[in-house]
A and B are shown apart, each in its own frame.
Chain A
Amino acid sequence: MLVSVATATIGAFGLRISRTTSDFYVASRSVGPVLNASAIGGEYLSAASFLGIAGLILTYGADMLWYPVGWTAGYLVLLVLVAAPLRRSGAYTLPDFAEARLQSVRMRRWSGLLVCLIGWLYLLPQFQGAGVTLRTVTGAPPWLGGVVVAVVVLLNAVAGGMRSITFVQAFQYWLKLTAIGVPLVFLLLVWQRDGAPTVPMQPLSAAAEPPHQLYQTYSLILATFLGTMGLPHVLVRFYTNPDGRQARRTTLAVLGLLGLFYLMPTVYGALGRLYTPDLSGTDTVVLELPGRMIGGVGGDLLGALVAAGAFAAFLSTCSGLTISVAGVLSQDVLRRLRLGRHAHALGGIAAFRVSVCVAVVVPLLLALVGADVPVANAVGLAFAVAASTFCPLLVLGIWWRGLTDLGAIAGLAIGGVLSGFAVVMTIAADPPPGWPEALLSQPAAWSVPAAFATMVLVSRATSDRVPTDVGRIMVRLHTPEHVNVDRGPEARHEADDPTVGQRSPVRSTRTDRRS
């Protein structure tokens, strides 16, 4: 409750500051690196990080440590391959980047579609996790938590847009760190008082080792290492850095913040193996451990703190995803539905607000009727889809001149269809155990190489379609901002948005400063 109130308050505070559409999308690019890194951390640490990891570690043991490792290392891969060039591309969203790089409107639409799909796939488990949390804490029916989170996100995003979201997200990171860290100190004290009993480190007998563990681990590594860069809410954060250099430094700070946080779910999982082995197979160990180990009023208070952190996790991740999906919907879908003329009259903000509603309601409905997949696994599937689609697009687009629009579309289609098929089969069809289950629940190991290969081969075959000014685009992507060169036209996104006239003062002043 408190978290929701605080989030709404900060959102309201931001409302007074944010005035233009530009504010709405990327906080005017005037956010400092520390604040920005906290915001990225706050947005990124979802229900899967806060609840899911500890639950999986309790159930399956050390092999599940690859989830948090992969989610952190994904930022290292993002840092070295994508961070600075992407910021320098000047695009707001993935579709902006795709269009600017490949000079193709068709490319933009396909990317927009994928952003929505990945965003919804990621939102779904967040709403489910919120339901689990509220039920564990208050005994409320499981659908209520998802609805509460959806409403708060909706109000916040509609009211304040991205600028307020940046403040909110930064606040959320530190809240989450406190909420998971403070109770942990007390839990460890109790463990000490009990004589520091040995934690059973081998897999619990209740849960058999998943089949083909080695394949699953490597596929998970591939999905998380490469998928992070393809998540829509992660990328949009990079445009709030003033330049490419700051984008790198922010990413480095994110690596530190994530590493710090991820030390803790592991300890919860390990203590859970000792004190609450009966919670095996659920996502609730983080929530229940304080009450079980400490008990009394103190246990209740600490339990409430953890629950607050969990809700912070849902709210922040959902906000970020909602903004990203809504941004794509309002720019690419609503305009095309001929709501456009009207939306223009009201300013792009009206279209954005409508899009926010659509972006939240669709996954909420899916979560209410959908199957129950463990939170971390469902999020893992979103990573696999992102790794099979946007990762090849970004990596090849930034580092290889030969990429063509047809090649990119073919790669997105192959990667999206293969990984999407695996997702649908895993969630809906319950594949037979053994290899089919392993291959479908962790598709990245085969879908990512397929997408890369398709993109390269089709681009090679259609090499006459390489954009004519690819050289200029490479200059834009890779040259430091202070070097005074012709970078070609800015990526299109405000050209069709007359409410944004006075955007981005940073870039134009930057060249003068040195001379």
Chain B
Amino acid sequence: MAAPRRVTVTSPRTTAARSRRVAATQEIDAQSAVGDAYMRSLIRSQLRLALVVLGVLGGLVGLLPLVFALLPSARDTDLLGIPLPWIVLGVLIYPALLALGWFYVRQAERTEQAFSDVVERP
């Protein structure tokens, strides 16, 4: 039994300019090109932020073993009567990590706020 052919019922004014604005959240739900662009830009800026923080972490912390290995003078330098490796790795590094984390959280929340401001615009 062949199903009847489906026919599109349309208003005669299909060629008129659309007046209804589509909310960005609907674009995202429909996974349209526009919605996809919103999502990609959000993900890209969060990823960029993450990579910046990881880059700083790698630059600050990742180079330390190399410095201490290649520059014996850095190993023997004293700070407050304590050799540099001990004071840096035992104490100073923790506030630095916390500050980096704080910076990340602040920036990530700003990015999200900007994103929701855009997509929730009425």
Contacts and interface: CB of A to CB of B under 8 A. Distances in A.
Contact of A485 (B25, B47, B62, B82): B25
Contacts of A471: 31, 36, 39
Given A214-B65, A478-B42, A73 B57 contact: yes
A228 to B, nearest CB: 12
Given A263-B90, A478-B46, A221 B61 contact: yes
Contacts of B85: 62, 65
Interface string B103-116: 01100110010011
A399 interface: yes
Contacts, number: 121
Given A73-B57, A252-B102, A485 B86 contact: no
> Mostly helix, strand, loop or mixed at chain B's interface?
helix
A72 B93 CA distance: 10
Nearest to A262: B94
B101 A251 contact: yes
Contacts of A225: 57
A66 B28 CA distance: 44
B34 interface: no
A483 interface: yes
A478 B69 CA distance: 41
A475 B27 CA distance: 12
Contacts of A347: none
A484 B25 contact: yes
Contacts of B62: 218, 221
B100 interface: yes
B79 interface: no
Nearest to A515: B120
Given A259-B95, A474-B43, A486 B29 contact: yes
> Mostly helix, strand, loop or mixed at chain A's interface?
helix
Contacts of B100: 76
A189 to B, nearest CB: 18
Contacts of B28: 475, 479, 485-486
Contacts of B94: 72, 258-260, 262-263
Contacts of B86: 62, 65, 201, 266, 270
Interface of A: 62, 65-66, 69, 72-73, 75-77, 79-81, 84, 201, 213-214, 217-218, 221, 225, 245, 248-249, 251-252, 255-256, 258-260, 262-263, 266-267, 270, 399, 471-472, 474-475, 478-480, 482-486
28 contacts: A62-B68, A65-B90, A66-B89, A73-B97, A75-B101, A76-B101, A79-B101, A81-B50, A201-B83, A214-B65, A217-B65, A221-B61, A221-B65, A248-B104, A252-B98, A255-B101, A259-B94, A259-B95, A263-B90, A263-B94, A266-B90, A267-B90, A270-B86, A399-B47, A471-B31, A475-B39, A479-B39, A480-B116
